[in-house]
Amino acid sequence: MKQGTSSPDYLGLGFEMLDRELRFLTECLREVLIELGHRDLAEHLPWLGQTVAGDSAPWRLGLAYSVAFQLLNMVEEHAAGEMRLLRERNEGNTAERGLWGQQIARLRAQGLTAEEMLAAMQQVRVEPVLTAHPTEAKRLAVLHQHRLLFGLLDDLVDAEGSLHVQRGLRERVKAALERLWRTGEILLEKPTLADERRNVLHYLRDVFPSVLPALDDRLFEAWQDAGFDPEPLFVPGALPRIRFGTWVGGDRDGHPGVTAEITAETLAELRVQAVGVAREQLTDLAAKLSLSTWMQEAPPTLQVALGAAGDLVKHDQPWRRHIENLIAKLPGSGADSYTYSAELLADLDRLSQSLDEVGAHRLAEADVAPVRRTIEVFGFHLAQLDVRQNSVFHAKAMTQLLGAAGLSADDWDEWSEPERLRFLERELRSPRPFLHPSASAGPEADAVLGCYRALASHMERCGANGIGSLIISMTRRLSDLLVVYLLAREAGLMRAFPEGIVCVLPVVPLFETIEDLDQGPDMLRAFLEEPVTHRSLAFHAKRALRAGQLLQQVMVGYSDSNKDGGILASQWALQKAQTRLAKVGHECGVNIRFFHGRGGTVSRGAGPTHRFLEALPHGSVSGHLRLTEQGETIAQKYANPATATYNLELLLAGTTATTALHARPGEEFPQLIPVLEKLAAASKRAYRSLLDHEGFMTFYRQATPIDALEHSRIGSRPSRRTGQASLADLRAIPWVFSWNQARFYVPGWFGAGSGLAALAPEELATLGEQMRHWPFLHYVMTNVESSLASSDPTLMTQYAELVPETELRDELLQMILGERDLTLRMLEQLRGGPIAGRRPRMLKTLELRAEALRVLHAQQIVLLKEWRGRRDRHEDVSADAMLPDLLLSINAIASGLRTTG
């Protein structure tokens, strides 16, 4: 920006674009509805200056509003992206917080040299893991139309000033909207695992490979603009590494549909799709490298390669011919095909060398390097498939295995922990299994061993790159981890060496509840001190070419800890646990790679990526980072190339900066630890006073649509782990989803007010002052504030009217509303004023949705009352007939809130 010129009002410009594009799309939707004979719905659409319908609104209005909210979400995303581009164009690439330009400038301001930044980049390995928890409330076909419409918004910006082009665009938009309307919003059948796999494969195959070049270009541009030499970035291994993972087809925690056959199919399909990506990349490269022998002779490296392939050097386009030979060697092409992607990478390196030999350095960097980068990221596996199972399931499998082997008739759960450990440590000295591979031990044992054998078979044929880790959810004690080694031994996943047996796949604890997070560090120390663990980590390090660098993955869960103790107690427990876990790793000579099990809402760990990374405890990030991307957040972050590039850049740049800063001494806040302990404890007491109330489950099941969600078809996974109708058995996702639908948002804020009110005035003042300096504190309180702002006391009261017991309803509603008022007052006191001046974007998005959402909530309340009445009267047929309308209301509200669970 020129000196002396004032900065544009980006906020105002963004709001203008949002309003303009929203009106355009809504007008198009109105025209489509009228043309399809739905004038009654068209007349009630929001944002066109019309009066939104009241209680007399037609029931199908929910579908119209759902589509309208989807358009609003799309426009908000598009306007945000356009404003980012405008800011960078005017202010330079340091203008946008969290991206490469700003992060490099931040590191320079902290005194880091280019060499230190490059060293940090080389340590970075970031892995988003796509999961299919039951949070995506939209059909796959609907998401496809969303992607098409988003692209048309880009075209609309480019077409400004051309009425002819705009008219054509309007017709294309209307066609997409008609397809969206005719497709319908409701899933008449639950999606299958194949459906969920197909959705995830779309991102892995069609989105992420296409955005990699732009992602790297952003780094190169920011690096050069900072005045640094770009050459070191072209050295293989210099760029921060990004990989992808998935749980679809591997996560069997409480999901009986994920069988060994499903896992084997998923691994095979991932490999097929990865080879497809490689083929497309190489085919495009062959078209580019049409260099002829008329302009330059084939260099020695290329001659050797072509000779080895039985080709003649006299071929007019030898580089192109060589690439065609590489395509012919892709897996599945014949007896001489590649087995491992490393073989293809070696051939691509020779291709680059042959271009260098004729002076075509630019072509090696511009054409071959991006293909090499893609193969390096996706290999022949596309993404690593994790296998997750619950420790309780493993215990049942162990009981059956011991019984079948004639070793014990007792239930494994009845063994004391010392008895378990003595038995396990004795057994883990031997490589021999208990049973013959063909023997059956029982349903749980057969399920675990069948899965592990499928993994072993895939590794034998294709290598280990496509398989991630064996993750044990609800890890409660050391034996929960060691028992996995014994089960792995039974299925051929252990190898014998002179020094002892090793597990060929990483075994990963998942600490989820507050109690488990507290006990986790001691458990991790004991696990790392086990000889079989140490040998296995050394084996993995050797295989990954990490000389002497042992790496243990530890997963921490945000959802169950929040459900267990509330937002502040959960966040503080996670902060403390990560600090202690990282320290245990350091003391044991092992780097800890944290795997963050985050969901799509604040109460499940969501929040702006760069803020999340800045808030991690100092010393907990040493380059390696995994995190889940769940449900609707996948589409929100990655459905469109520009948005996908932005979110992946936030993740890569933020992890690099955090890694570099965590390698240096960081600011400590010991004076705040007693205050945080007091805050978390008081907050948890208030939260548990609600959940432990004698009538809480009755209130919860009647004041929220949890029962309707349990009948929904938004995911293949059951809403409960074991099917028991208890709070403990209910998954965190429907728990959060149901509170959001009824606009309570309890998991995101309840207890925060009581926690803050328990502090002395000077403690509260200190906390408010330190929020400017401690990113963790700022991040947590901002997220609580966001959840609180999304709650609505009027709607909460209306949903509470569904609870027939007046005394119970009034008592619990007053508890919730009283805590909300207290939290609002305490946050204003902590932050020094109301939210309005600090969060204009958030208030704008809430305001745009408010009126239409009130209509949908009113309809849902009526539907719930009638549906429950029919079920109580055992009118099952008529109750089932209501489900589509009820589920449509859930989807429409989820679209309006832009969140489920």
Catalytic residue numbers? 133, 563
Bridge pairing between strands 550-557 and 590-597:
parallel
CA dihedral (694, 696, 701, 703) in degrees, to 10, reads 130
What are the backbone angles phi and psi of residue 676, rounded to the nearest 5°?
-65, -40
Q: What residues contact residue 449 under an 8 Å CB cut-off, 6+ apart?
A: 397, 441, 487, 490, 491
CA dihedral (666, 669, 670, 675) in degrees, to 10, reads -160
**Most distant CA pair in the chain: distance in Å?**
92
Q: At what angle do helices 641-662 and 114-123 cross, to 10 degrees?
A: 110
Tokens encoding 697: 């489950």
Q: How many CB atoms lie within 10 A of CB 498?
A: 4
Contact assessment for residue 183 and residue 139, using Cβ atoms and an 8 Å cutoff: yes
C-alpha span between 709 and 717 (Å, rounded): 12
Q: What residues contact residue 849 under an 8 Å CB cut-off, 6+ apart?
A: 69, 72, 896, 897
Contact assessment for residue 163 and residue 662, using Cβ atoms and an 8 Å cutoff: no
What are the backbone angles phi and psi of residue 826, rounded to the nearest 5°?
-70, -35
Tokens encoding 648: 């992946």
Q: What residues contact residue 459 under an 8 Å CB cut-off, 6+ apart?
A: 467, 504
Contacts of range 67-71, beta carbons closer than 8 Å, 24 or more positions apart: 67/29, 67/177, 67/180, 67/181, 67/185, 68/26, 68/29, 68/852, 69/849, 69/852, 69/892, 69/895, 69/896, 69/898, 70/138, 70/142, 70/146, 70/180, 70/895, 71/22, 71/25, 71/26, 71/29, 71/149
How big is the chain, counted in residues? Answer: 901
Q: How many CB atoms lie within 10 A of CB 736?
A: 27
What are the backbone angles phi and psi of residue 677, rounded to the nearest 5°?
-60, -45
Q: How many CB atoms lie within 10 A of CB 229?
A: 9
The continuous run of DSSP H or E covering 508 comes out as strand 507-511
Bridge pairing between strands 125-131 and 624-630:
parallel
Please give the angle made by the CA atoms of 701, 707 and 711, to the nearest 5 degrees: 170
What are the backbone angles phi and psi of residue 627, rounded to the nearest 5°?
-160, 145
| 763 three-class SS | helix
